[in-house]
Amino acid sequence: MSSAKCPFSEFPDPFAAARAAEGIREIDDQGDPVKMVLGHRDVRKSAHDWRTFQSGAKPGRIVVPSEVNIRDIRQIPFETDPPEHTEYRALVEGWFRRPLTESYEAGLTNLINQELDRAISSGELEVVHDFALPLQSRALTLLLNCPLEEAEEWIGWGTHVFRSDDDPLDGDKANQLYDYLDAQIERASRDVENGEDIFAHLLRAEYRGRKLTHEEIKGVMILTFAGGRDTVINAVTNTLAYFAGHPEDLQKIREQPELSARAVEELVRYFAPLTHMGRVATSDAEVSGCPVAADSRISLCWASANRDPKVFEKPNEVDIERKANPHLSFGFGIHKCLGAPHARQVLKVLITALTQRVSSIQVTDHQDNIEQWGDFNRKVGFHRLQVKIS
């Protein structure tokens, strides 16, 4: 429980006042402003209304900060609307549900135990780069069903594939991923029938009576690298920080392992690894009593919705036993996260492994990762989290 304020495991809610007052707040983004939608009901309502608030705008425009200047390629199914979205999504939905199988869970358990053992034997480490990044990358090989060794290259790309230290929107860095994907699609196309990885799966897929194009396959694959990277890295890092600050909760799960599923949902609610995602209005509309002009942007602020006191009791406290927990961390409606079964499984296996293998986590140094959205400063995770672990 949060008796004393913990300097590293608190994730404050910067949206409270604006959410209670106007429920929506405009911020600038490279001259293409975004009205952030903050209340739980308004976020759900706008996410549901894909006819008015579309995802299939110019590629990169629904992402905040906008990426229209650094890419032309459309992410699939993310930047499409029905009916295309429905059909694209159907091609990959089954694939993204594989994390629920027994063998997947076993593989993941094996992998995460190894990562933890490595961490414990070194005794002291920086969690973001030396634990969360390799764990996320290696776990992704299970999702894509490709050799574990592939992860070494992805780890080399650093925590964000699109960002370098001196440039938050680095086009060259993105090219490295694009080149990699081109080469992989090329490789997989040499043996489409027998290939067992996601590239072969996509090469075999039929969309509207034809095969997917190279660009479409790339559009799907970019998303598994972009959408599943920072989000999982932050979720893993923050989970370690949380249990370092709240060993009593880890002990509770040790005694009642059946709590782990609820704990995952509650931590994901609290951390909201993806703060918000944009939409473009297809006509003049209104959200929360505020006019939204055609062709302007709104964003669905999952992080704010998750702290809405109209829905959650004690929204700023972590209650790993929270029973009803309609959080929006994985989105809402037709675009809700395809990677959620994988992400949930990663966190569940991680928490179980922590209860079995770790007796103490101590934070010795940390540097918060604070996002700035207009006047809002939101802690989403850490740039660095130095811990002693045993």
Q: Which of residues 337-356 bind ligand HEM (CB under 6 A)?
A: 337-339, 342-343
Q: Is the dihedral of CA 183, 185, 188, 191 positive or negative?
A: negative
- In the complex, minimum distance from the CB of residue 128 to ligand HEM, in angstroms, rounded to a whole number: 9
Q: Which of residues 166-225 bind other proteins (CB under 8 A)?
A: none
Window 116-145: contact mask with ligand HEM (x via CB under 6 A): ---------------------------x--
Contact 188, 200 (CB under 8 A): yes
Binding partner at 322 among ligand HEM, other proteins, none, C-beta below 5 to 8 Å by kind: other proteins
Q: Which stretch binds ligand HEM (CB under 6 A): 15-23, 59-67, 317-325, 349-357?
A: 59-67
Please give the C-alpha separations between residue 221 and each of 24, 178, 203, 224, in angstroms, as whole numbers: 33, 9, 12, 5
Q: Which stretch binds other proteins (CB under 8 A): 150-158, 197-205, 258-266, 368-376?
A: 258-266
- Quote the CA–CA distance of 354 and 183 in Å, as a whole number: 37
Concatenate the DSSP letters of all residues of 246-274 into one string: -HHHHHHHHH-GGGHHHHHHHHHHHH-SS
Would you call 369 helix, strand, or coil by DSSP?
Answer: strand
Helix (H) or strand (E) holding 10: none
Q: Which of residues 259-318 bind ligand HEM (CB under 6 A)?
A: 268, 273-274, 277, 302
H helices of 296-361, in order, are: 302-305, 340-357
Q: Which is nearer to other proteins, 100 or 293 (CB)?
A: 100
- In the complex, minimum distance from the CB of residue 321 to other proteins, in angstroms, rounded to a whole number: 10
Q: Work out the burial of residue 254: count CB atoms within 10 Å of its CB; fewer than 13 is exposed, 13-18 middle, 19 or more buried.
A: middle
- Quote the CA–CA distance of 261 and 121 in Å, as a whole number: 28
Q: Is the dihedral of CA 62, 63, 64, 68 positive or negative?
A: negative
> Around 19, how many Cα atoms within 13 Å sit in the side-chain half-sphere?
24
- If one asks whether residue 381 binds ligand HEM (CB under 6 A), the answer comes out as yes
Q: Work out the burial of residue 271: count CB atoms within 10 Å of its CB; fewer than 13 is exposed, 13-18 middle, 19 or more buried.
A: buried
Q: Which is nearer to other proteins, 58 or 314 (CB)?
A: 314
Q: Which is nearer to other proteins, 101 or 360 (CB)?
A: 101
Binding partner at 174 among ligand HEM, other proteins, none, C-beta below 5 to 8 Å by kind: ligand HEM
Contact 33, 270 (CB under 8 A): no
Binding partner at 100 among other proteins, ligand HEM, none, C-beta below 5 to 8 Å by kind: other proteins
- If one asks whether residue 230 binds ligand HEM (CB under 6 A), the answer comes out as yes
- Quote the CA–CA distance of 18 and 24 in Å, as a whole number: 7
Task: Report the DSSP pairing between strands 124-126 and 376-389.
Answer: antiparallel
- If one asks whether residue 326 binds other proteins (CB under 8 A), the answer comes out as yes
- If one asks whether residue 329 binds ligand HEM (CB under 6 A), the answer comes out as yes
- If one asks whether residue 41 binds other proteins (CB under 8 A), the answer comes out as yes
Which of 150, 243, 128, 248 has its CA nearest to residue 198?
150
Centroid of chain to Cα 44: 18
- Amino acid making up residue 206: E
- If one asks whether residue 109 binds other proteins (CB under 8 A), the answer comes out as no
Q: Work out the burial of residue 336: count CB atoms within 10 Å of its CB; fewer than 13 is exposed, 13-18 middle, 19 or more buried.
A: exposed
Binding partner at 381 among other proteins, ligand HEM, none, C-beta below 5 to 8 Å by kind: ligand HEM
Q: Which stretch binds other proteins (CB under 8 A): 20-28, 40-48, 144-152, 279-287?
A: 40-48
- If one asks whether residue 245 binds ligand HEM (CB under 6 A), the answer comes out as no
- If one asks whether residue 99 binds ligand HEM (CB under 6 A), the answer comes out as no
Window 179-218: contact mask with ligand HEM (x via CB under 6 A): ----------------------------------------
- If one asks whether residue 78 binds ligand HEM (CB under 6 A), the answer comes out as yes
Contact set with other proteins (CB under 8 A): 40-41, 44-45, 47-48, 97, 100, 102, 105, 258, 261-262, 264-265, 269, 311, 322-328, 330, 332-333, 336, 340-341, 344
Binding residues for ligand HEM, per CB under 6 A?
55, 63, 65, 67, 71, 75, 77-78, 89, 143, 160, 162-163, 168-169, 174, 222-224, 226-228, 230-232, 234-235, 268, 273-274, 277, 302, 329-331, 335-339, 342-343, 369, 380-381
